[in-house]
Chain A
Amino acid sequence: MRAGFLAGVLLLASGYAWIAFAELAWLSSAGRLGPGFFPRIIGATLIVMCAWSLGAELRHGARERLSEFWRVTLVLALLSGLFVAALDVLGGLASMIAYMAVTLAFLNRRRHWQNALLAVLLPLGIYLLFRVWLNAAVPRGLLPF
């Protein structure tokens, strides 16, 4: 798994280095160090380090086993992603209530009253804190709150 992650970073590093070498100049038109100077050094070093680590991982890396809790983690991450996606559609308050209701129903099973109370009160508290007290931005979405 680590080898796969390293390969992904290597791929991104190669793209970064390619842009640094192909599109950004080492020297500016005034003869000073240009916009590509630092990114080229970073990109090249990153590729070398990723390739080195990937090689070492493929040679000596032990096979890692998935934790028994990977499904819970995956669902939690998916729910967080859906929450961010819902912000623009439902708006801040409704998304928070929906997210808390679904997540607590999944994690805190068979405690319906507790979940319902938390799913309403906590988002309401956070909404009031950010929107009313701090006058900070909270996503509006298609709903007016």
Chain B
Amino acid sequence: MDLFANLLLGFSVAVSPINLAYLFAGVMIGMVVGIIPGFGPAAALAVLLPVTFGMEPAGAVIMLAAIYYGSQYGGTITSILLNTPGESSSVASTFDGYPLAQQGRAGPALVMQAIASFVGGTFGVVLITLLAPPFSQLARSFGPPEFFLLVVMGLSTLIVMIGGNWRLGLISALVGLALGTVGVDLETGNSRFTFGSAEMIGGIDFIPIAIGLFGLGELYYAFYSGLHVSGTGGIVQLQKEKRFWPELRDYVETRWALARGSLLGFVVGVLPGAGATVASLMSYSLEKSVSRTPQKFGKGAMAGLVGPEAANNAASSGAMVPLLTLGIPGSAATAVLLAAFVLWGLTPGPLLMAQKPEFAWGLIASMYLGNMALLALNVFAIPLFVQMIKLPYRILAPAVILVCTIGTYSVNGSIVETWLMFGAGLAGFFMKLHGFSPAALVLALVLGPLAEQSLRQTLAISRGSLGIFLERAPSLWILGITAAALVVGMAMRRARDPG
């Protein structure tokens, strides 16, 4: 009964006219962000954070969360029509989405991806509704050893599961942890790495770093890759489509892909560090391996589009579970959401649902409505978004740089932070160019202070013995899940790169 009462409370918050307006604005912005290659939800959330300063906390977080999960929908439109994923989590959707469009089935592909995204996203929200309260209850038994292990789990999973060289991923995370130690040590009051600068005493704010790495850095890299000249020449013309709606066999053939993708996506999303990209790639591999016609994959198999789409949306919902119940973000985008929570005086973690039920349940309820709005937008407003795809990158990029710069300055009115954002942009470009992981850096920067504090507390409790990590049941569970995630991650790497 508590569940329904809480959900009703949540809907009473979410359906207020102003929050509905914020929700709709959020899903629209999310769709647009998803469409722009090289501008991900992490950068968009960081840039738009200052825009929410004048809002009520619930409305602000409802809008930011809608941008986050809305971008998962938008990223696929360019995957299908242009063979260019708007987001990394939409990469798997290019494998069969673009071939479908080339075969004159762009309309059915777009509608099926919208339905898959809706089912995956809504399935994820239903599971959040059911699982967040027991998770929250369970997390109350967690102490410093468990929180330290959760941080280790998030970072190690991210490093292993993201493609590329794991050593470079680890270096990225270590740089993030190092940046997280700048400022006053809260236990002793000593200044660390501040070089006498008053601006550095409070530590390095991760908002300018996130905007620089994911906004500027990605844009520079997009130019370096020639995205500004490739343009939209290869776009599949949707206007010429006669058969816009999917056929009955499309629904029948993909029903199990939909179910498997949703479940797999949610489970992967709950794991800190794994995220929507990993979920969609795993789902694609799974669908190909269980299919009776694996030879059709890569040539326009609807299941190869539907499975990953359901998975990445379920994963983005799943990532809300550790964020809301543990205060542990699993990706760069949810790290920015965490910053938004903190900015509004809310502390995500085991007590959030008990102390601020109207906020936590308002957010969850808004996700049901947000997914419905996104389904309608994706089916009925596709021509509008297709026009946006045609906006030239050479005009879009300077506009985004403008917003990144002014957005960074407006957070604290600091020109030092604006320079920091610019420096992070250059660093982000070189990191991307050389195979490092900006996401691992940002996540480590956010989680670093928690990791240091919880490790020091743990060692103080155990009098310096690391054996404490093996003595407590919750710690052993987290260690076990981490080990399993790492094994799966390594198996995925081996499958991707047999050499």
Given contacts A2-B435, A80-B216, A118-B395, contact A69 B402 (CB under 8 A): no
Q: Which of B363-406 contact A (CB under 8 A)?
A: 392, 394-395, 397-399, 401-403, 405-406
A90 at the B interface (CB under 8 A):
no
B398 contacts which chain A residues (CB < 8 A)? Answer: 99-100, 103-104, 107
The answer to whether A53 touches B54, judged by C-beta atoms less than 8 angstroms apart, is no
A50 contacts which chain B residues (CB < 8 A)? Answer: 171
The answer to whether A136 touches B167, judged by C-beta atoms less than 8 angstroms apart, is no
The answer to whether A42 touches B402, judged by C-beta atoms less than 8 angstroms apart, is no
B430 contacts which chain A residues (CB < 8 A)? Answer: 5
**Number of A-B residue pairs having CB atoms within 8 Å of each other in the complex:** 165
- How far is A56 from B455 in the complex, measured between Cα atoms in Å? 32
A99 contacts which chain B residues (CB < 8 A)? Answer: 398, 401-402
- How far is A9 from B176 in the complex, measured between Cα atoms in Å? 12
CB-contact partner of A42 in B178, B225, B426, B456, under 8 A: B178
Most chain B beta carbons < 10 A, residue from A33, A126, A133: A33
The answer to whether B402 touches A126, judged by C-beta atoms less than 8 angstroms apart, is yes
Given contacts A32-B187, A33-B459, A49-B171, contact A77 B228 (CB under 8 A): no
B177 contacts which chain A residues (CB < 8 A)? Answer: 38, 42
> Interface of chain A, helix or strand or loop or mixed?
helix
A19 contacts which chain B residues (CB < 8 A)? Answer: 193
The answer to whether A69 touches B224, judged by C-beta atoms less than 8 angstroms apart, is yes
B141 at the A interface (CB under 8 A):
no
The answer to whether A80 touches B171, judged by C-beta atoms less than 8 angstroms apart, is no
B178 contacts which chain A residues (CB < 8 A)? Answer: 13, 16, 39, 42-43, 46
Q: Smallest CB-CB separation from A56: which chain B residue?
A: B167
- Interface residue tally on B, bucketed by range: 35 or more
The proximity string for A residues 83-110 relative to B, scoring 1 for CB distances below 8 Å and 0 otherwise, is: 1100110001000100110011001100
A113 at the B interface (CB under 8 A):
no
CB-contact partner of B228 in A56, A88, A96, A107, under 8 A: A107
Q: Smallest CB-CB separation from A28: which chain B residue?
A: B188
Given contacts A39-B178, A88-B415, contact A139 B226 (CB under 8 A): no
B175 at the A interface (CB under 8 A):
yes
**7 more A-B residue pairs beyond the given contacts A42-B177, A87-B405, A104-B398, with a C-beta to C-beta distance below 8 A:** A16-B178, A32-B456, A43-B178, A92-B406, A108-B394, A126-B406, A130-B407
> Interface of chain B, helix or strand or loop or mixed?
helix
Q: Smallest CB-CB separation from B460: which chain A residue?
A: A32
- How far is A43 from B177 in the complex, measured between Cα atoms in Å? 10
B452 at the A interface (CB under 8 A):
yes
The answer to whether A5 touches B434, judged by C-beta atoms less than 8 angstroms apart, is yes
Q: Smallest CB-CB separation from B224: which chain A residue?
A: A73
Q: Smallest CB-CB separation from B404: which chain A residue?
A: A80
The answer to whether A67 touches B226, judged by C-beta atoms less than 8 angstroms apart, is yes
B53 at the A interface (CB under 8 A):
yes
The proximity string for B residues 213-245 relative to A, scoring 1 for CB distances below 8 Å and 0 otherwise, is: 000100110011110110000000000000000
The answer to whether B174 touches A35, judged by C-beta atoms less than 8 angstroms apart, is no
CB distance from A26 to the nearest CB of B (A): 12
- How far is A69 from B402 in the complex, measured between Cα atoms in Å? 22
A16 contacts which chain B residues (CB < 8 A)? Answer: 178, 193
A144 at the B interface (CB under 8 A):
no
B190 at the A interface (CB under 8 A):
yes
The answer to whether A100 touches B192, judged by C-beta atoms less than 8 angstroms apart, is no
The proximity string for A residues 109-128 relative to B, scoring 1 for CB distances below 8 Å and 0 otherwise, is: 00000000010001100100
Given contacts A35-B192, A46-B178, A137-B410, contact A76 B405 (CB under 8 A): no
- How far is A80 from B220 in the complex, measured between Cα atoms in Å? 10
CB distance from A19 to the nearest CB of B (A): 6
CB distance from B462 to the nearest CB of A (A): 12
The answer to whether A67 touches B401, judged by C-beta atoms less than 8 angstroms apart, is no
A96 contacts which chain B residues (CB < 8 A)? Answer: 402, 406
CB distance from B450 to the nearest CB of A (A): 12
The answer to whether A76 touches B402, judged by C-beta atoms less than 8 angstroms apart, is no
CB distance from B438 to the nearest CB of A (A): 14
A49 contacts which chain B residues (CB < 8 A)? Answer: 167, 170-171, 174
The answer to whether A123 touches B402, judged by C-beta atoms less than 8 angstroms apart, is yes
The answer to whether B434 touches A1, judged by C-beta atoms less than 8 angstroms apart, is yes
- How far is A96 from B400 in the complex, measured between Cα atoms in Å? 12
A134 at the B interface (CB under 8 A):
yes
B394 contacts which chain A residues (CB < 8 A)? Answer: 104, 107-108
Interface stretch among B78-86, B309-317, B417-425?
B417-425
A34 contacts which chain B residues (CB < 8 A)? Answer: 185, 188, 190
CB distance from B373 to the nearest CB of A (A): 23
The answer to whether A67 touches B434, judged by C-beta atoms less than 8 angstroms apart, is no
B51 at the A interface (CB under 8 A):
yes
- How far is A67 from B415 in the complex, measured between Cα atoms in Å? 32
B347 at the A interface (CB under 8 A):
no
The answer to whether B402 touches A35, judged by C-beta atoms less than 8 angstroms apart, is no
A39 contacts which chain B residues (CB < 8 A)? Answer: 178, 181, 192-193
